[in-house]
Protein backbone atom coordinates (compact mmCIF):
# COMPACT_ATOMS: atom_id res chain seq x y z
CA UNK A 1 0.00 0.00 0.00
CA UNK A 2 1.41 3.38 -1.06
CA UNK A 3 2.53 5.58 1.82
CA UNK A 4 2.56 2.73 4.36
CA UNK A 5 5.28 2.85 7.01
CA UNK A 6 7.62 -0.18 7.03
CA UNK A 7 7.91 -2.08 10.31
CA UNK A 8 10.78 -1.28 12.69
CA UNK A 9 12.85 -4.38 13.53
CA UNK A 10 14.40 -4.91 16.95
CA UNK A 11 18.20 -4.58 16.45
CA UNK A 12 18.75 -7.62 18.65
CA UNK A 13 16.08 -10.23 17.86
CA UNK A 14 14.74 -8.68 14.59
CA UNK A 15 11.10 -8.82 15.77
CA UNK A 16 8.99 -6.25 13.88
CA UNK A 17 7.34 -3.29 15.62
CA UNK A 18 5.08 -0.64 14.05
CA UNK A 19 7.48 2.06 15.30
CA UNK A 20 10.73 2.36 17.30
CA UNK A 21 10.33 1.16 20.89
CA UNK A 22 12.37 1.49 24.08
CA UNK A 23 11.86 -2.18 24.96
CA UNK A 24 11.25 -5.06 22.57
CA UNK A 25 8.04 -6.94 23.29
CA UNK A 26 9.56 -10.14 21.88
CA UNK A 27 13.00 -10.50 23.49
CA UNK A 28 12.22 -7.94 26.25
CA UNK A 29 15.57 -6.22 25.69
CA UNK A 30 15.85 -2.55 26.66
CA UNK A 31 16.89 -0.66 23.54
CA UNK A 32 17.74 2.78 24.98
CA UNK A 33 21.48 2.98 25.52
CA UNK A 34 21.30 5.86 28.00
CA UNK A 35 18.83 4.15 30.38
CA UNK A 36 21.46 2.34 32.45
CA UNK A 37 19.13 1.48 35.33
CA UNK A 38 16.72 -0.32 33.03
CA UNK A 39 19.52 -1.99 31.08
CA UNK A 40 21.46 -3.30 34.06
CA UNK A 41 18.42 -4.47 36.02
CA UNK A 42 16.38 -6.01 33.23
CA UNK A 43 14.87 -9.04 34.94
CA UNK A 44 12.51 -9.85 32.08
CA UNK A 45 15.00 -10.08 29.21
CA UNK A 46 15.06 -13.32 27.25
CA UNK A 47 18.70 -14.22 27.91
CA UNK A 48 18.77 -16.98 25.31
CA UNK A 49 17.57 -14.69 22.52
CA UNK A 50 19.93 -11.88 23.49
CA UNK A 51 22.82 -14.32 23.84
CA UNK A 52 22.14 -15.53 20.31
CA UNK A 53 22.03 -11.91 19.16
CA UNK A 54 25.52 -11.32 20.60
CA UNK A 55 26.92 -14.22 18.58
CA UNK A 56 25.26 -12.93 15.41
CA UNK A 57 26.30 -9.30 15.93
CA UNK A 58 29.91 -10.26 16.61
CA UNK A 59 30.01 -12.03 13.25
CA UNK A 60 28.67 -8.90 11.56
CA UNK A 61 31.25 -6.78 13.41
CA UNK A 62 34.11 -8.79 11.92
CA UNK A 63 32.77 -7.98 8.43
CA UNK A 64 31.67 -4.37 8.90
CA UNK A 65 33.52 -1.54 10.63
CA UNK A 66 30.26 0.16 11.60
CA UNK A 67 29.77 2.00 14.92
CA UNK A 68 26.05 1.15 14.88
CA UNK A 69 26.91 -2.55 14.97
CA UNK A 70 29.04 -2.02 18.10
CA UNK A 71 26.23 0.05 19.64
CA UNK A 72 23.88 -2.91 19.21
CA UNK A 73 26.51 -5.23 20.66
CA UNK A 74 26.86 -2.96 23.71
CA UNK A 75 23.08 -2.94 24.18
CA UNK A 76 22.96 -6.73 24.10
CA UNK A 77 25.75 -7.08 26.67
CA UNK A 78 24.20 -4.47 28.97
CA UNK A 79 20.86 -6.28 28.93
CA UNK A 80 22.76 -9.30 30.25
CA UNK A 81 24.59 -7.08 32.79
CA UNK A 82 27.92 -7.73 31.06
CA UNK A 83 29.42 -4.29 31.61
CA UNK A 84 33.04 -5.02 30.71
CA UNK A 85 32.08 -6.48 27.34
CA UNK A 86 29.73 -3.54 26.70
CA UNK A 87 32.54 -1.07 27.43
CA UNK A 88 34.76 -2.81 24.91
CA UNK A 89 32.06 -2.58 22.24
CA UNK A 90 31.52 1.12 22.99
CA UNK A 91 35.25 1.73 22.78
CA UNK A 92 35.25 0.23 19.29
CA UNK A 93 32.35 2.54 18.33
CA UNK A 94 34.31 5.52 19.69
CA UNK A 95 37.39 4.49 17.73
CA UNK A 96 35.36 4.34 14.51
CA UNK A 97 33.77 7.75 15.22
CA UNK A 98 36.53 9.71 17.01
CA UNK A 99 34.75 13.05 16.51
CA UNK A 100 31.43 11.89 17.93
CA UNK A 101 31.17 13.26 21.48
CA UNK A 102 28.38 10.87 22.46
CA UNK A 103 30.63 7.81 22.77
CA UNK A 104 33.14 9.26 25.29
CA UNK A 105 30.28 10.56 27.44
CA UNK A 106 28.48 7.22 27.53
CA UNK A 107 31.71 5.32 28.16
CA UNK A 108 32.68 7.59 31.05
CA UNK A 109 29.27 7.36 32.73
CA UNK A 110 29.09 3.59 32.33
CA UNK A 111 32.67 3.09 33.56
CA UNK A 112 31.97 5.17 36.66
CA UNK A 113 28.74 3.27 37.24
CA UNK A 114 30.59 -0.03 36.93
CA UNK A 115 33.26 1.02 39.45
CA UNK A 116 30.58 2.04 41.96
CA UNK A 117 28.73 -1.24 41.50
CA UNK A 118 31.94 -3.20 42.05
CA UNK A 119 32.71 -1.24 45.21
CA UNK A 120 29.26 -2.00 46.62
CA UNK A 121 29.70 -5.76 46.22
CA UNK A 122 31.26 -8.02 48.80
CA UNK A 123 34.96 -8.57 48.21
CA UNK A 124 35.72 -12.11 47.09
CA UNK A 125 39.18 -13.31 48.03
CA UNK A 126 40.51 -15.66 45.36
CA UNK A 127 41.70 -19.11 46.33
CA UNK A 128 45.41 -19.12 47.15
CA UNK A 129 47.71 -20.36 44.41
CA UNK A 130 50.47 -22.87 44.97
CA UNK A 131 52.95 -20.12 44.13
CA UNK A 132 52.49 -16.38 43.95
CA UNK A 133 52.02 -15.38 40.29
CA UNK A 134 54.30 -12.81 38.74
CA UNK A 135 52.45 -9.68 37.59
CA UNK A 136 50.90 -9.43 34.16
CA UNK A 137 52.13 -6.38 32.25
CA UNK A 138 49.37 -4.90 30.07
CA UNK A 139 50.76 -2.55 27.41
CA UNK A 140 48.09 -0.52 25.62
CA UNK A 141 47.72 3.18 24.77
CA UNK A 142 43.92 2.92 25.30
CA UNK A 143 43.13 3.54 29.01
CA UNK A 144 39.75 1.83 28.65
CA UNK A 145 41.24 -1.30 27.08
CA UNK A 146 43.92 -1.46 29.78
CA UNK A 147 41.27 -0.99 32.46
CA UNK A 148 39.12 -3.80 31.04
CA UNK A 149 42.01 -6.29 30.91
CA UNK A 150 43.19 -5.28 34.39
CA UNK A 151 39.77 -5.79 35.94
CA UNK A 152 39.31 -9.20 34.31
CA UNK A 153 42.67 -10.44 35.59
CA UNK A 154 42.52 -8.85 39.03
CA UNK A 155 39.15 -10.46 39.72
CA UNK A 156 40.91 -13.81 39.35
CA UNK A 157 43.75 -12.90 41.70
CA UNK A 158 46.37 -11.76 39.19
CA UNK A 159 48.52 -8.75 39.95
CA UNK A 160 48.54 -6.34 37.00
CA UNK A 161 50.98 -3.67 35.86
CA UNK A 162 50.11 -1.29 33.02
CA UNK A 163 52.11 0.71 30.52
CA UNK A 164 50.76 3.14 27.92
CA UNK A 165 53.75 3.14 25.57
CA UNK A 166 56.72 1.05 24.52
CA UNK A 167 59.28 2.96 26.56
CA UNK A 168 57.28 2.50 29.77
CA UNK A 169 56.81 -1.19 28.94
CA UNK A 170 60.57 -1.71 28.66
CA UNK A 171 61.08 -0.08 32.06
CA UNK A 172 58.53 -2.33 33.77
CA UNK A 173 59.07 -5.57 31.86
CA UNK A 174 61.52 -7.20 34.28
CA UNK A 175 58.81 -7.34 36.96
CA UNK A 176 56.38 -9.29 34.74
CA UNK A 177 55.68 -12.96 34.27
CA UNK A 178 53.80 -12.47 31.00
CA UNK A 179 53.28 -9.39 28.81
CA UNK A 180 50.13 -8.52 26.85
CA UNK A 181 51.42 -6.14 24.19
CA UNK A 182 49.35 -3.98 21.83
CA UNK A 183 50.79 -3.99 18.30
CA UNK A 184 50.01 -0.44 17.21
CA UNK A 185 50.94 2.35 19.61
CA UNK A 186 52.29 5.85 19.08
CA UNK A 187 56.06 5.95 19.00
CA UNK A 188 57.55 2.48 19.37
CA UNK A 189 55.19 -0.20 18.01
CA UNK A 190 54.64 -3.62 19.55
CA UNK A 191 56.99 -5.42 17.17
CA UNK A 192 59.87 -3.14 18.14
CA UNK A 193 59.09 -3.48 21.84
CA UNK A 194 58.99 -7.27 21.58
CA UNK A 195 62.31 -7.34 19.73
CA UNK A 196 63.92 -5.16 22.41
CA UNK A 197 62.59 -7.46 25.12
CA UNK A 198 64.02 -10.53 23.42
CA UNK A 199 67.42 -8.85 23.02
CA UNK A 200 67.62 -8.17 26.75
CA UNK A 201 68.90 -11.16 28.82
CA UNK A 202 66.76 -10.00 31.75
CA UNK A 203 63.50 -10.20 29.76
CA UNK A 204 64.21 -12.71 26.98
CA UNK A 205 62.36 -15.54 28.78
CA UNK A 206 59.17 -13.56 29.50
CA UNK A 207 56.31 -14.68 27.19
CA UNK A 208 54.88 -11.88 25.05
CA UNK A 209 51.32 -12.11 23.68
CA UNK A 210 50.64 -9.52 20.98
CA UNK A 211 47.19 -7.95 20.48
CA UNK A 212 45.59 -5.96 17.68
CA UNK A 213 42.17 -4.49 16.85
CA UNK A 214 39.73 -6.33 14.59
CA UNK A 215 40.49 -4.04 11.66
CA UNK A 216 44.25 -4.62 11.88
CA UNK A 217 45.83 -7.90 10.86
CA UNK A 218 48.81 -9.00 12.91
CA UNK A 219 51.82 -9.87 10.77
CA UNK A 220 52.15 -13.34 12.30
CA UNK A 221 55.46 -14.07 10.61
CA UNK A 222 56.93 -10.84 11.92
CA UNK A 223 55.47 -11.52 15.38
CA UNK A 224 57.20 -14.90 15.45
CA UNK A 225 60.45 -13.42 14.19
CA UNK A 226 60.60 -10.91 17.04
CA UNK A 227 59.80 -13.63 19.58
CA UNK A 228 56.08 -13.33 20.35
CA UNK A 229 54.61 -16.44 22.01
CA UNK A 230 51.06 -15.84 20.78
CA UNK A 231 48.68 -13.22 19.36
CA UNK A 232 45.05 -12.24 19.96
CA UNK A 233 42.47 -9.98 18.35
CA UNK A 234 40.81 -7.22 20.38
CA UNK A 235 38.28 -7.00 21.86
CA UNK A 236 39.09 -10.26 23.66
CA UNK A 237 36.52 -12.18 25.66
CA UNK A 238 37.34 -12.45 29.36
CA UNK A 239 37.67 -16.24 29.23
CA UNK A 240 40.16 -15.99 26.35
CA UNK A 241 42.33 -13.50 28.25
CA UNK A 242 42.32 -15.67 31.36
CA UNK A 243 43.15 -18.80 29.40
CA UNK A 244 46.13 -17.13 27.73
CA UNK A 245 47.47 -15.67 30.98
CA UNK A 246 47.06 -19.02 32.76
CA UNK A 247 48.92 -20.68 29.90
CA UNK A 248 51.89 -18.31 29.78
CA UNK A 249 51.94 -16.80 33.28
CA UNK A 250 54.79 -17.88 35.53
CA UNK A 251 55.58 -17.76 39.26
CA UNK A 252 57.73 -14.94 40.58
CA UNK A 253 61.38 -15.41 39.87
CA UNK A 254 63.58 -15.50 42.95
3-state secondary structure 91-130: HHHHHHCCCCCHHHHHHHHHHHHHHHHHHHCCCCCCCCCC
Between 40 and 9, where is the model more confident?
Answer: 9
204 occurs within a structural domain: yes
In degrees and rounded to multiples of 5, residue 102 shows phi and psi of -70, -45
Specify whether 91 is located in the same domain as 179: no
168 occurs within a structural domain: yes
Relative to beta strand 160-163, strand 178-182 is: unpaired
What share of the chain in percent tops pLDDT 70?
86
Picking from 183, 164, 162, the residue whose alpha carbon sits closest to that of residue 226 is 183
Number of compact structural domains in the chain: 2
2 occurs within a structural domain: no
28 occurs within a structural domain: yes
**Mean pLDDT rounded to a whole number for the chain:** 83
Judged by DSSP in three states, 212 sits in strand
List pLDDT tens digits, range 166-188. Answer: 999 999 999 998 999 998 888 89
- The whole-number pLDDT of residue 131 equals 52
Q: Which residues of 182-207 are buried (b: 16+ CB within 10 A; e: fewer)?
A: bbebeebebbebbbbbbeeeebeebb
Residue 24, pLDDT above cutoff 90: yes
Cα 170 to Cα 187: distance, rounded to the nearest angstrom:
13
- The whole-number pLDDT of residue 241 equals 86
Cβ atoms 188, 121 nearer than 8 A: no
Specify whether 146 is located in the same domain as 231: yes
Cα 233 to Cα 147: distance, rounded to the nearest angstrom:
17
Specify whether 143 is located in the same domain as 107: no
125 occurs within a structural domain: no
Of the segments 142-146, 195-199, 240-244, which one has the largest average pLDDT value?
A: 195-199
Domain boundary among 118, 152, 174: 118
128 occurs within a structural domain: no
The CATH number for 27's domain is 1.25.40
What pTM value is reported for the model?
0.53
Specify whether 48 is located in the same domain as 13: yes
225 occurs within a structural domain: yes
Domain boundary among 72, 88, 118: 118
- Non-local CB neighbours of 4 within 8 Å, separated by 6+ positions: none
Specify whether 140 is located in the same domain as 114: no
Specify whether 233 is located in the same domain as 166: yes
164 occurs within a structural domain: yes
Between 163 and 224, where is the model more confident?
Answer: 163
Please give the residue range of the domain that contains residue 178: 136-248
Picking from 56, 91, 90, 58, the residue whose alpha carbon sits closest to that of residue 75 is 90
The CATH number for 184's domain is 3.40.50.2300
Each as own residue / partner, the long-range contacts of residues 56-60 (CB below 8 Å, 24 or more positions apart, any chain) are 57/12
Domain boundary among 86, 118, 150: 118
Q: DSSP strand E in 39-177: where?
A: 136-139, 160-163
Amino acid sequence: MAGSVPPWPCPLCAADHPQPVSQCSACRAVLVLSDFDALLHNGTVNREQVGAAIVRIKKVATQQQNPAVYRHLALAHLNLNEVDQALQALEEARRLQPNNRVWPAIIEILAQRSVKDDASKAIVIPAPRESRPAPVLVVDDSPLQAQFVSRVLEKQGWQVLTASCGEEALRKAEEAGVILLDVFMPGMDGYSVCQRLKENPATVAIPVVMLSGQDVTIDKDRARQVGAADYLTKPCAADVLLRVVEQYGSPLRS
